[in-house]
């Protein structure tokens, strides 16, 4: 069976898009047939004829006149799907996609955040299969199956590594999914890194003393620690440290949950365990992908629907 991942073009600064492209690559690397579907490439919808025609015309004008190419990651196996590939395929939508734009019979939803957080109301169909990236993103009312976890890890160890072992000054901070939260740290000599490239961020992580994240669940907290920063996540009052640390299946080594001395000490004293933890997560990732493939095929193979 073919897998088709519904996504936007590759963007190194958007974690959700990275893992969607990565899933396609990992599936192909394991011998499956997986493709990407360009999110702005619409099908003709008779119920919404004018809107769907407009979107199709817009897509082809953009492609032909402005030569807008769909970005993919150079080293990954991520071919683009054609209309012919849709027949009988398993289509994977991120949780933010409502309804079933490709009118697929075999639908998988992957919760890369809480369903309905960015788009409400959200409409899912019947007889679908649900997976979640982390426990914090699962909705048990939609997906009561806690075993359907699919977490992919991208370490970028060629970029995020410690190069400065001398003096550090100042702080940097990240908002991203924490946008709108109250700023609680001193903004003097503090750099906002939202929207910067990975190379720019790695350079800053190697200059400043502390990194403060208002986004509770981001790999940037790990990247900062790998660069020698004291990495701090600003807590949410309704999320305990235990719940936060267990949310992605890791211990959050090298990261403080709050500004207390004991948290800072934990971050500094456990930083050396980060690479070991990443290797463990990569091993678990392989098993999760195998389980994902088996569950999809068991549900959507002929005669099992």
pLDDT tens string 109-151: 999 998 887 776 789 999 999 999 988 899 999 999 999 999 9
Q: Is the domain of 44 the same as that of 92?
A: yes
Mean pLDDT of 53-75: 68
Tell me if 288 is assigned to some domain.
Answer: no
Phi and psi (nearest 5°) for 132? -130, 150
Q: Is the domain of 130 the same as that of 31?
A: yes
- Return the half-sphere exposure (C-beta side, CA atoms, 13 A cut-off) of residue 51: 6
Domain that holds residue 112: 2-152
8 Å CB contact between 223 and 174: no
The residues, ordered by sequence, that sit 6+ positions from 22 with a Cβ below 8 Å of its Cβ are 76, 152, 154
**Dihedral-angle region of residue 138 (phi above 0 means left; psi in -120 to 50 means alpha; beta otherwise):** beta
- What are the tens digits of pLDDT across the range 168-189? 999 999 999 899 999 999 999 9
Per-residue confidence band for 34, with pLDDT thresholds at 50, 70 and 90: very high
Last residue of a domain, one of 119, 152, 185: 152
Longest dimension (CA), the chain: 65
pLDDT at 33 over 90: yes
Q: What is the pLDDT of residue 13?
A: 85
**How many domains are there within the chain?**
2
Residues 290, 295, 300, 305: what is their CA dihedral angle, to the nearest 10 degrees?
170
The Cα 299–Cα 301 span in angstroms is: 6
pLDDT at 17 over 80: yes
**Angle made by CA atoms 75, 275, 233, in degrees to the nearest 5:** 100
8 Å CB contact between 160 and 226: yes
Q: Is the domain of 32 the same as that of 96?
A: yes
Q: Is the domain of 130 the same as that of 222?
A: no
Q: Is the domain of 83 the same as that of 189?
A: no
- The token duo for 79 is 């071919």
């Amino acid at each position: 069976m073919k897998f088709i991942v519904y996504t936007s073009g590759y963007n190194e600064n958007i974690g959700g898009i990275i893992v969607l492209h990565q899933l396609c690559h990992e599936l192909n690397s394991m011998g499956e047939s997986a493709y990407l579907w360009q999110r702005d490439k619409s099908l003709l919808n008779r119920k919404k004829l004018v809107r769907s025609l407009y979107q199709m015309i817009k897509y082809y004008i953009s492609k032909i006149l402005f030569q807008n190419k769909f970005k993919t990651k150079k080293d990954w196996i991520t071919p683009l799907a054609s209309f012919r590939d849709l027949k009988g395929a398993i289509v994977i939508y991120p949780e933010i996609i409502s309804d079933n734009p490709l009118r697929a019979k075999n639908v998988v939803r992957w919760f890369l955040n809480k369903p309905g957080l960015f788009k409400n109301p959200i409409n899912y169909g019947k007889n679908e299969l649900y997976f979640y990236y982390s426990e914090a993103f699962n909705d048990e009312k939609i997906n009561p199956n806690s075993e359907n976890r699919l977490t992919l890890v991208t370490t970028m160890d060629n970029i995020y590594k410690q190069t400065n072992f001398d003096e550090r000054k100042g702080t940097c901070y990240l908002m991203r999914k924490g946008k709108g939260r109250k700023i609680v740290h001193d903004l003097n000599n503090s750099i906002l890194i939202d929207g910067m490239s990975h190379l720019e961020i790695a350079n800053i992580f190697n200059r400043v003393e502390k990194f403060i994240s208002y986004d509770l669940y981001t790999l940037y907290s790990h990247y900062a620690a790998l660069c020698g920063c004291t990495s701090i996540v600003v807590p949410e009052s309704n999320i305990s440290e235990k719940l936060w640390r267990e949310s992605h299946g890791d211990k959050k080594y090298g990261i403080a949950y709050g500004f207390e001395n004991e948290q800072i000490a934990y971050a500094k004293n456990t930083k050396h365990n980060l690479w070991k933890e990443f290797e463990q997560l990569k091993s678990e990732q392989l098993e999760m992908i195998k389980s994902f493939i088996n569950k999809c095929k068991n549900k959507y193979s002929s005669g099992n629907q």
